[in-house]
Structure 1
Amino acid sequence: MSRDYAEMEKKWQSKWAEKKLNESERQDGKPKFMLIFAYPGLTGYLHVGHLRGYTYADALGRYKRMTGYNVLFPVGTHATGNGAISLASKIARKDEKTVDYLLRNGCPEEEIDKLKEPMDVVNFFNNVYQNDYWKRFGFLADWRRFTCTLYPDYGKFIEWQFTKLKEKGLLVQKPYYAPFCPVHGPVAVDPSETDISKGGLAETQEYTLLKFWCEERKFFLVAATLRPETIFGQVCFWARPDMEYSIVEKDGERWVVSPQCAEKMSLQFDGVEEVGRIAGKDLIGLTCTAPMIHKQIPVFPADFVDPDVGTGLVTSCPSDAPDDWNSLQVVKANPELTEKYGISKDIVDAVVPVSIISIKGYGDFPAQSIIEKMKIPSVKDPAKFRELMDEAKKQVYKDGYHMGVMKDVCGEFSGMRVEEAKDKIQQAMLASKEAEIFRDLTEEVVCRCGQRVHIKRIDDQWFINYADRQLTDSTKEHCRDMTIFPAQYYENVQGVLDWYRERACVRLGNWLGTRFPFDNKWIIEAISDSTLYPLFYTISLYSNTKQITPEQMTPEFFDYVVLEKGEPSAVAGSTGIDQELLEKIRKDVHYWYPLDINLGGKEHMTVHFPVFLMNHRAILPDDMQPKGIIVNWYVTGKNKDKISKSKGGAQPIPGAVAKFGADSMRLYYAHVASMFVDVEWDEDLVFTYKQKLENIMSSVEDLINAEADVPSGDIDAWLLSRFNTHVSEIRAAMDRYDLRQMATVVYYDMSNDMRWYARRGGKNRDTVMQALRIWINAMMPITPHVAEELWSEAGFEGLVSEAQFPEADDSKRNAAAEYGEGLVQEVIGDVNEIKKMAKTEVSKAVIYTTPMWKVGVMKDAIAMAEAGNLTIPDLTKRCMADENLKKRGKETSDFVKKIAVDLMRSNLKDKKALADLDEETLLKSAKDFIASETGMETEIYGADEENKFDPSNKARVAVPGRPAIYLC
């Protein structure tokens, strides 16, 4: 049947809104549960990947409501930074890609011209996120509490937060080398990519700039190195002949570097000025004096030099650098040096590697050793060659650093371990002014405005001092008592907190955000204003409803309602807030807080979560510390890369919901994989979940509308027992926030059980309705619209979203019934499997149940296990005291070993149910059903029957729970 899912979703969402199920009010005495998902950066449309984590949060919140909690699930957006500025700017200049992006994601064409100002962009996307995404997915979020980091009231909260950090001595000011955009100023470079559109994994790398004096031209050729200790092995210098270099003046010296490097240097050093240019080909053949060793070395041509890396000039230490070793061999075999550049063969031949570092397991020239060991010269494929050379470089550098010792040629540094000599050699060259420090990013970084990001020196940068030892240790200690998933992050967060250092917390330039309260020229940056924000949701309701104004939200106000400092009458007087309202806000804050769960994507593990934890620890008392963190992994594109909203993303969310239905997507997110692994967005797979839901709905509707009603029997006891077992399984799964396991039970195990019940002839109306009440109720957290529809069709009272999740009814738990029906299923499966493997035509199945002596041994073993004294020798001794068992000799001893080992590894409860089961009676009662399911004539015999048909003596191998089968 064709269903209008959009209409169904709209209907039930309206019902929830009418009943105000999403609105959360303090209920003193009732247990509360507060959870959030990390609010998204407002830099454009969200995509189907974002909804994975958001859906988890809503499902967890719904489940907690069903189990007796008063749940607060607030949402907001993070608009701090340059995202909205960049987008508005592109719209204003009618950037074709941006306009296409907006149209493709459903923005009405007439709206685009209204988005030329940053706050218009912010307001537009705030509306999109709430109405087109979160409400469309049926989230029961308290929309009254919605906040955005650019709202005035939020700004007051951030100002208060920073006053507290300053009071704690955690704000410091010092020079800083920051990633810097020429339009927006300093930007954050981290995996969250809040400020940038490319390069989130880039790191700031410290180079040593080596100055090689060229007497002939009266300038320095400047090379950047990460390994200053290799200066003793310099034998030549590389320049790129097909490019033009800049000549810059710095501190009265003339330096030759690439134009790209000159631009970067101007951001890091004072007084750098370009005074000329020189062709790269004019550098070839010059000689220069290497620093420290003061040795003359020639300049050779090389096309591998990258003008954007370092200085665009490279000094060569072939003994320890695989690329240099290989390049020198190529040069020596190339007559072009003499023919084209006039460099004599004698000069080329005189360039030979110098052995400077001894590494265990390597020869005199480690670069040569590893190249030969990896057989790299024989590799013809360029890509593979490059991959192997990079691998060789990493390995030899790593071994050299950790195991290398400087040789005698290294003068005063000889005999030193490389890890010690590296810093000492660098410091010596810095002291002699033969070197300087230069910083660069490890990969290209692009701001959201499209400008390239470089490193710039900021002289008076403000930081939050996350390196404070007391704060770090206190936070680590608190984390040990938190609920943190996955388990690996529970362990790893300790190291992340140790690694965290000062973080630049303010920016200069064109940014949206809160002004730094201690120096108005600065804007508080995007990570630093998103640490305590869950707390603000407990207050935002009152400013959103105009009960208080931003101007009234003074430091004294927050001190009182959050930290309970100050006299209520004095605070009421200074703020103009009615004292009764002030008390209500304070009680709300302390009812809802601490936050129970903060759920966010894995990019937050090293960015948001650490500062979230440390700011809470620094500012709030012990009883307001967060209780839990859940990390979810990504939904990726076809190439396994994270889907990027700034680059268009996958199918727009409204289109996907229209195509598949909200609940199909919710089920896909919940069940497709553990939340701790990446999932590739696969529309075909999403469609299978849609089909799954349609099949379940049809099955439930058939059960609801069935007219037949037969008396209750064993199969009814089995179904009710199974469903009450599933209730326990669901509760256990959700206690550990395992939404996938819950989904498996609800949409697969329970569905299979209902189908099996029908196949076994179950048609008792009361049993069916009891089971459906449990089943539909269990669907609600993940697929709430489908659950409401089925709940209504079944005639159950009220809304399922208001219903409580049932407790398992132990009076209806029947382990023997569950085990017995499972045995019937296994026997049918085994018969069908043997039938497939049979080499001759078979038409009859003969099934033999276990002999009673084996049941007796099992019961003895269970009794011993319950008493805690089950061992193979003791069970053997007990059995051999029975003459009938003793007569069986080896058969008894073999079975004793088998059953003892099995019990030691198994669930004792299941084994007791098996021992109490009358297999013969059960299977004989199911004989006709087994015959119909297998398509074979079926006979059932107890192994102890005297006149049974058993031509192959199969009955002897039957054991409890494993009947023997003979096909003929």
Structure 2
Amino acid sequence: NPINVVTVKGYGEFPAVEVVERMGIENQNDPKVQDATDELYKAEHSKGYISDHIEKYAGKRVAYIRDEIKADMIEEGSADIMYDFAERPVICRCGNKCVVKVMDDQWFIRYGDEEWTEKTQKVLAQETIIPEEIRSNFEYYINWLDDWACSRRVGLGTRVPWDDQWLIEPLSDSTMYMSYYSIAKYLKDMNPEDLNEAFFEKVFLGVDSDEITVAPEIVEDIQAEFNYWYPLDWRLSAKDLVGNHLSFLMFTHAAVYPEEKWPKGTVVFGMGLLEGNKMSSSKGNVILLADAIEEYSADVVRLFLMASAEPWQDFDWREKEVKGTQRRLEWFREFAQKVEDIKGEKLDLSNIQEAALERSIDKWMVNQLNVHIKAATEALEVFQTRQALQHALFLLKKDLDHYMYRVKDLIEKKDPAVIYVLSTLLSNWIRLLAPFTPHTSEELWSKFGGEGFVSFAEWPKYDEELISEEIERSESLVQNIVKDINEIKNIVDTDPEKIHIYLSPDWKWDLYKIADEVGKPDIGQIMGRAIGQNIYDDKKEIAGAAKKISREMTKTRYIGKIDEATILNDAKDFIEAEVESEVVIHTDDSYDPQNKARNAMPYKPAIFME
């Protein structure tokens, strides 16, 4: 007789019997069996509980008790876990099916050794991991790794020294090849018989031995080369190797080298997508690097890959965007030529003729150049190639476009300051892009008079003294004035003959400074200090201005008083051209027919049209 194990609300003592009878199922070949099974499993999982006669688990919900029963059965030996292979084939990167075979006399590396694991965790702890969030993955895998099958019978690889019928498989064999790379240029010309264990222990570990057959002076040179490159600064590889090769590397260095030779950092790369889909050689969804280079050039490929994602993120190769990158690089070539055309004679980047920068817009462009050099440099220090390119190319181009528009009349006059700014920008820009587009950068560097190879040229240095928030704010002032005037013109639908711009009086600047010192939009405190310092006689006006500043200070940070009169007078021709009216700039209210001057605030002049 059947024994009831699960009691289900809404069903009798034997739910399965009840469902079979209700559905009229006569045998196990009846197609309705699947429907009955689905119904019963769903009901038991959502509504079922263990029947009362099973005392240990009686009354407990099926949905919550399964793991407990499983653990108990495994512990008492009445059950075990069985692993099975997925039914779908596993495809090698080469396109062939992978076949799993259990091999006799296989060699294993005991990564599960507790002492070794603990030491490897110390290697990880002193490393810089990029991105940092991957560190927890390493911590997990270093603790998780146990015996690893490290040998195979066929393929490429180094023979297991004590059992030459086996080869060390690649993931295990490649954990110290960076040590080999550091001295490879010497080894290729040496007698292999001299490259014994004693030789390598001397080079890598400084252990003396009578078994070394290489001349001492040669050993000394090789050891110096190794010590120059080690410890390893960075190991860069893909994220699918975190749980094996990259962790093995840490294990191996922990076992072989003293702490001062442990690797200092690991950078984990992302994977590739093609038009939004995962690249897969087994599905033919790949683009070969050689084909991409042939069609677009190496520089375009490099620029796209490094601009589209940070190294640890998955990049997505999209044809349309690659072509956009190609056009952008072509634009850069054209800009370089344009600088020479503007100058009107051969451009010599190794001998740029300086010019005094008096105009705010010229200072602004130099300011922006230094801002982007600084940001790109800092990004590259932590392998943020996409962030670096945002500044080294895209944002710098945006600022250049603005500058070229602002000085378009001066360009036609071959203004010396503009030529100096553009030449300086180009010299720095070519060097900034050299790591990303080396071939284009070398070509332009050579064509326009750069000294030597750009790859050997000094990396652009930013000058903190040339970076000024005041300069940035000055250009924002000009742009905001133009924007505000045009918006007012559109609203009132008028074409004024004359536009008056009123600048903030000194006492409002003092009030803004007080608000900044208070540090929060507390009108009471701001008023109290302003009256105490006697910045202005009219308390009512102080109160009104304090309210405005309290609202504005959360959006516009106080950076000190800027010379708005000089800035706007300097840009007066540009402003007049943009608003198509005569512009008059007032530092007082001697002419103010509609009492607009009282609305002028720091960083936000008042406007009157007539």
TM-score range normalised by the length of the shorter chain: 0.7 to 0.9
Residue 594 of structure 1 corresponds to which residue in structure 2? Answer: 231
Secondary structure, in 3 states, of the residue corresponding to 1:939?
strand
Residue 188 of structure 1 corresponds to which residue in structure 2? Answer: none
Deviates further, 851-860 or 443-452: 443-452
Unaligned runs of 5+ in 2: 345-352
Sort the Cα spacing of 1:889 and 1:703 in 2 relative to 1 into closer, same or farther, 3 A: closer
Q: Deviations over 1:318-376 (max 9, x none)?
A: 979xxxx99999865654635x9699x9xx9xx9999xxxxxxxxxx88317669xxxx
Q: Deviations over 1:431-479 (max 9, x none)?
A: xxxx77643124534354845645x655644322222233333333332
Residue 347 of structure 2 corresponds to which residue in structure 1? Answer: none
Q: CA deviation at 1:949?
A: 5.5
Q: CA deviation at 1:655?
A: 2.7
Deviates further, 750-759 or 612-621: 750-759
Residue 54 of structure 1 corresponds to which residue in structure 2? Answer: none
Supply the distance in 2 between the matched residues of 1:582 and 1:635 (Cα, whole angstroms): 43
Select 1:959's aligned residue among 594, 601, 608. Answer: 601
Select 1:477's aligned residue among 115, 122, 126. Answer: 122
Supply the distance in 1 between the matched residues of 2:115 and 2:609 (Cα, whole angstroms): 74
Supply the distance in 1 between the matched residues of 2:6 and 2:108 (Cα, whole angstroms): 39
Residue 212 of structure 2 corresponds to which residue in structure 1? Answer: 572
Check conservation: 1:943, 1:956, Cα contact below 8 A. Answer: no
Residue 194 of structure 1 corresponds to which residue in structure 2? Answer: none
Check conservation: 1:779, 1:787, Cα contact below 8 A. Answer: yes
Residue 684 of structure 1 corresponds to which residue in structure 2? Answer: 320
Residue 70 of structure 2 corresponds to which residue in structure 1? Answer: 422
Q: CA deviation at 1:694?
A: 1.2
Residue 367 of structure 1 corresponds to which residue in structure 2? Answer: 42
Q: CA deviation at 1:919?
A: 1.3
Residue 629 of structure 1 corresponds to which residue in structure 2? Answer: 266
Give the length in aligned residue pairs.
577
Sort the Cα spacing of 1:452 and 1:728 in 2 relative to 1 into closer, same or farther, 3 A: closer
For 1:560, the aligned partner's letter is: K
Supply the distance in 1 between the matched residues of 2:80 and 2:464 (Cα, whole angstroms): 76
Secondary structure, in 3 states, of the residue corresponding to 1:961?
coil
Residue 159 of structure 2 corresponds to which residue in structure 1? Answer: 515
Q: Deviations over 1:832-862 (max 9, x none)?
A: 56666x3745567654433432212223455
Sort the Cα spacing of 1:956 and 1:407 in 2 relative to 1 into closer, same or farther, 3 A: farther
Supply the distance in 2 between the matched residues of 1:884 and 1:645 (Cα, whole angstroms): 79
Check conservation: 1:875, 1:896, Cα contact below 8 A. Answer: no
The question of 1:756 aligning with 2:402 is answered yes
Sort the Cα spacing of 1:893 and 1:833 in 2 relative to 1 into closer, same or farther, 3 A: closer
Secondary structure, in 3 states, of the residue corresponding to 2:590?
coil
Select 2:180's aligned residue among 518, 521, 536. Answer: 536
Q: CA deviation at 1:645?
A: 4.0
Q: CA deviation at 1:889?
A: 4.7
Sort the Cα spacing of 1:479 and 1:917 in 2 relative to 1 into closer, same or farther, 3 A: same
Q: CA deviation at 1:736?
A: 2.3
The question of 1:560 aligning with 2:205 is answered no
Residue 387 of structure 2 corresponds to which residue in structure 1? Answer: 741
Secondary structure, in 3 states, of the residue corresponding to 1:440?
coil
The question of 1:891 aligning with 2:544 is answered yes
Q: CA deviation at 1:869?
A: 11
Residue 783 of structure 1 corresponds to which residue in structure 2? Answer: 437
Q: CA deviation at 1:757?
A: 3.1
For 2:365, the aligned partner's letter is: L
Residue pairs, 1:60-139, within 5 angstroms: none
Sort the Cα spacing of 1:437 and 1:706 in 2 relative to 1 into closer, same or farther, 3 A: closer
The question of 1:717 aligning with 2:359 is answered no
Residue 125 of structure 1 corresponds to which residue in structure 2? Answer: none
Sort the Cα spacing of 1:341 and 1:444 in 2 relative to 1 into closer, same or farther, 3 A: closer
The question of 1:826 aligning with 2:480 is answered yes
Select 1:731's aligned residue among 377, 402, 406. Answer: 377
Sort the Cα spacing of 1:366 and 1:963 in 2 relative to 1 into closer, same or farther, 3 A: farther
Residue 104 of structure 1 corresponds to which residue in structure 2? Answer: none
Supply the distance in 2 between the matched residues of 1:661 and 1:737 (Cα, whole angstroms): 23
Secondary structure, in 3 states, of the residue corresponding to 1:945?
coil
Sort the Cα spacing of 1:366 and 1:874 in 2 relative to 1 into closer, same or farther, 3 A: farther
Q: CA deviation at 1:611?
A: 1.6
The question of 1:610 aligning with 2:247 is answered yes
Residue 467 of structure 1 corresponds to which residue in structure 2? Answer: 112
Secondary structure, in 3 states, of the residue corresponding to 1:884?
coil
Secondary structure, in 3 states, of the residue corresponding to 1:527?
helix
Supply the distance in 2 between the matched residues of 1:586 and 1:902 (Cα, whole angstroms): 59
The question of 1:644 aligning with 2:291 is answered no
Supply the distance in 2 between the matched residues of 1:756 and 1:410 (Cα, whole angstroms): 80
Supply the distance in 2 between the matched residues of 1:337 and 1:786 (Cα, whole angstroms): 78
Q: CA deviation at 1:941?
A: 4.0
Secondary structure, in 3 states, of the residue corresponding to 1:859?
helix
Sort the Cα spacing of 1:419 and 1:483 in 2 relative to 1 into closer, same or farther, 3 A: same
Supply the distance in 1 between the matched residues of 2:571 and 2:425 (Cα, whole angstroms): 23
Sort the Cα spacing of 1:920 and 1:599 in 2 relative to 1 into closer, same or farther, 3 A: same
Q: CA deviation at 1:685?
A: 0.4
For 2:42, the aligned partner's letter is: A
Sort the Cα spacing of 1:924 and 1:593 in 2 relative to 1 into closer, same or farther, 3 A: same
Supply the distance in 2 between the matched residues of 1:725 and 1:451 (Cα, whole angstroms): 53
The question of 1:929 aligning with 2:574 is answered yes
Q: CA deviation at 1:716?
A: 2.9
Residue 306 of structure 2 corresponds to which residue in structure 1? Answer: 670
For 2:431, the aligned partner's letter is: N
Q: Deviations over 1:23-69 (max 9, x none)?
A: xxxxxxxxxxxxxxxxxxxxxxxxxxxxxxxxxxxxxxxxxxxxxxx
For 1:337, the aligned partner's letter is: E
Sort the Cα spacing of 1:690 and 1:329 in 2 relative to 1 into closer, same or farther, 3 A: farther
Residue 295 of structure 2 corresponds to which residue in structure 1? Answer: 659
Deviates further, 777-786 or 826-835: 826-835
Q: Which has the higher contact order (CA 8 A, sep 6+)?
A: 1
Q: CA deviation at 1:704?
A: 1.8
Check conservation: 1:319, 1:367, Cα contact below 8 A. Answer: no
Check conservation: 1:472, 1:498, Cα contact below 8 A. Answer: yes
The question of 1:792 aligning with 2:446 is answered yes
Q: CA deviation at 1:801?
A: 1.0
Check conservation: 2:501, 2:584, Cα contact below 8 A. Answer: yes
Secondary structure, in 3 states, of the residue corresponding to 1:590?
helix
Secondary structure, in 3 states, of the residue corresponding to 2:171?
coil
Deviates further, 874-883 or 662-671: 874-883
Check conservation: 1:464, 1:503, Cα contact below 8 A. Answer: yes
RMSD: 4.0
Supply the distance in 1 between the matched residues of 2:145 and 2:584 (Cα, whole angstroms): 70
Sort the Cα spacing of 1:776 and 1:318 in 2 relative to 1 into closer, same or farther, 3 A: farther
Q: CA deviation at 1:798?
A: 1.2
Check conservation: 1:876, 1:893, Cα contact below 8 A. Answer: yes
Percent of pairs with identical residues: 29
Check conservation: 1:858, 1:899, Cα contact below 8 A. Answer: no
Q: Deviations over 1:520-572 (max 9, x none)?
A: 3332222111222211111222233x2x24333222222111111123xx243
Supply the distance in 2 between the matched residues of 1:541 and 1:611 (Cα, whole angstroms): 25
Supply the distance in 2 between the matched residues of 1:337 and 1:458 (Cα, whole angstroms): 48
Supply the distance in 2 between the matched residues of 1:842 and 1:371 (Cα, whole angstroms): 74
Supply the distance in 1 between the matched residues of 2:98 and 2:405 (Cα, whole angstroms): 66
Check conservation: 1:920, 1:940, Cα contact below 8 A. Answer: no
Bigger proportion of residues as strand:
1
For 1:917, the aligned partner's letter is: I
Sort the Cα spacing of 1:427 and 1:489 in 2 relative to 1 into closer, same or farther, 3 A: closer
Q: CA deviation at 1:879?
A: 0.7
Residue 620 of structure 1 corresponds to which residue in structure 2? Answer: 257
Select 1:583's aligned residue among 200, 220, 242. Answer: 220
Sort the Cα spacing of 1:797 and 1:959 in 2 relative to 1 into closer, same or farther, 3 A: same
Supply the distance in 2 between the matched residues of 1:420 and 1:617 (Cα, whole angstroms): 39
